Structure 1
Amino acid sequence: MKLLRRFALFAMLGAVVLSGCKSMTGAQKGAIIGTVGGAAAGAIIGRTAGNTAVGTAVGATVGGVTGAIIGNKMDKQAEEMKAKVPEATVERVGEGIIVELPNSILFGFDSSTLSAEAKANLDKMITVFSTYPDTDIEIQGHTDNTGAAAYNQTLSEKRAKAVYDYLIAKGVAPARLKVVGYGLTSPKYPNDTEANRALNRRVEFVITANEKMLQEAEAEAARQGK
C-alpha cells in the first residue's frame, strides 16, 4: 500500500507539473511536490518531461508550509519577470521559476557572443534579480541536434558561460550562479523541423530559493504553526 500511495503521489505530481494546471498557484504546486520529496521528484519529472530545467526546479522543492511561503514569493517574482522581459517565456514550477530565452535573441548563428538584443534583455532580467537577491540561478545551455554531439556540448557550455560572465559583470553575485551545458541531450521539442530545432537552441534560467530565503520561510512557517 505504501508503494502504491507513493506511486500515486508521483503520478499526481507529474500531472500537476507537466500540465501547468491553471487553477493552482505555484505555491500550491510546491506544497504538493514537497509531499513526495524534492530531489527524487526532480530527477523523475526531469527525465519524464525531457526537460532539465523542470527537473532542477522540482529538485529544489521543500514543500509543506515552508514551500508555500517560498512559492508565494516566487509567484510575485515571476509576474515581475514577465512584465519586465516580455520576450522571455516565464514559468512557475514547484517553488522555482524557469525563464527561457531563445538563442535567436541571444546569439548569432554558431556563435557564443551575446548580441546587443541579448544584453538588453539580460539587463531587464538583472533588475529583477537585484530586486529579489535571495535566490540561486542556474543557467542551462542547450542546442539542437545539428552537428557533432561533442561540438554542441562545447557550444552550449560557451553560451551559458557568456551569459554567466555578463551577469557577473553587471553586478550579480557569482555565488548565486551556476552554469550547465547540456548540448543536444535535452531537447524540449522534436528535432524534426527547422522551427523546432530553433526552439531547442535556448538558454534557460532556473531560479530557486537560496539558503537565506529557505531559513526565513522556515521561521515564518514555525510562527504560523504556533
Structure 2
Amino acid sequence: MKNISIIAIALLMLIGSIFTGCESMKNANNTQKGAGIGAVSGALIGGILGNNLGKGGKGALGAVLGGAVGGVVGGVIGNKMDKQAREIDAVLPGAEVVRVGEGIKLVLNENAVRFDTNKSTLTATAKANLDKLIPVFQEYPDTNITIYGYTDSTGSAEYNLKLSGERAASVRNYLVKKGLVSSRFSETGLGIADPIATNDTAEGRSQNRRVEFAITANEKMIQDAKSEVKN
C-alpha cells in the first residue's frame, strides 16, 4: 500500500497523543476515542495526499475527497476503510491502494486490468484480477464505487474519451455480472486527462492506460457510523 511519509506519521502520533490527553477524550468511550483520532488523522492524510497527488479533479482522488463526511463520524468511516484497503492490498498486491480521507483510491494499471489495443473487452488476465477483488467488495457492501477509465495520449482526444468510457463500463458490467449490486457502481471515461506518467515513453504510456476506483461510504455506512458514535 502507498506509504505515508515519516513526517506525516510523526504528526499523526503527536495529534493522537494530544487527543488522548484531552479531558473530553478521557470521558469518551473507545469508539469515540478511535474515531476522534481517526477523523483528525484522516483529514491530515487527505491533505498530505491531496498535495502530493494533485487536487483530484474529476477523477478518483477528487471523488474520495469530495465525499468526505468529516468529524468523528468520518473517523469511524475511515477506520472501516482502513480494513478494506488492507484486504484489497493483500489480494491484489500489484495494484496501487491509497487510503485517503474517508475513502480509498484504487489504481489498476495494465498489469492488473489490461485491454487489447483499441479494444474495450476485458482480457483473461483482467478478469482474473477483478475476480480477486469481488470477495472484498462483497464483504464490504456499504460502499459506492465509481470507476474511471483512462488512456494514453496516442490518437485523438475524442476517440480516447469514448474508448476510456467503454473500458470503464466493461469493468463495471463484469463486476455486476459476477453478482455485485449494480446500484453501487457508476463509471466514466476521462480519456487522456490526468496522466500519472509521461506520454513520451512506452513505459509512461503504459502507466497512463489504467482504471481507477473511488470507493466511498454509501448512505447506510454513514448512518451506521452516526449511530455508532452516539452509542
Superposed CA offset, 1:75-102 (max 9, x none): 0000000111112111101111111111
Residue 204 to residue 219, structure 1, CA distance change in 2 (3 Å): same
Q: State the Cα distance separating 1:190 from its structure 2 match.
A: 2.6
Q: Which residue of 1 aligns with 2:127?
A: 119
Q: Which residue of 2 aligns with 1:81?
A: 88
Q: State the Cα distance separating 1:106 from its structure 2 match.
A: 2.3
Q: State the Cα distance separating 1:46 from its structure 2 match.
A: 7.9
Contact 1:190 / 1:197 at 8 angstroms: preserved in 2?
yes
Q: Which residue of 1 aligns with 2:21?
A: none
Residue 69 to residue 47, structure 1, CA distance change in 2 (3 Å): same
Give the paired residue count: 199
Mind listing any 5+ residue stretches in structure 1 that lack a counterpart? 1-17, 37-41
What is the root-mean-square deviation in Å for CA atoms of aligned residues?
Answer: 2.6
Give 1:102's match in structure 2, choosing from 93, 109, 112.
109
Identical amino acids, percent of aligned pairs: 50
What SS does the corresponding residue of 2:215 show, helix, strand or coil?
strand
Contact 2:82 / 2:99 at 8 angstroms: preserved in 1?
yes
Give 1:140's match in structure 2, choosing from 143, 148, 161.
148
Query: Where in structure 2 are the equivalents of 1:140-219 lying within 5 Å?
Result: 140-219=148-227
TM-score, L = length of structure 2: 0.78
Is 2:42 the counterpart of 1:30?
A: yes
Q: Which residue of 2 aligns with 1:11?
A: none
User: Partners in 1 of 2:219 and 2:196 — Cα distance?
Assistant: 30
Contact 1:141 / 1:160 at 8 angstroms: preserved in 2?
yes
User: Rg: which structure is higher?
Assistant: 2
TM-score, L = length of structure 1: 0.80
Residue 80 to residue 197, structure 1, CA distance change in 2 (3 Å): same
User: Partners in 2 of 1:79 and 1:33 — Cα distance?
Assistant: 16
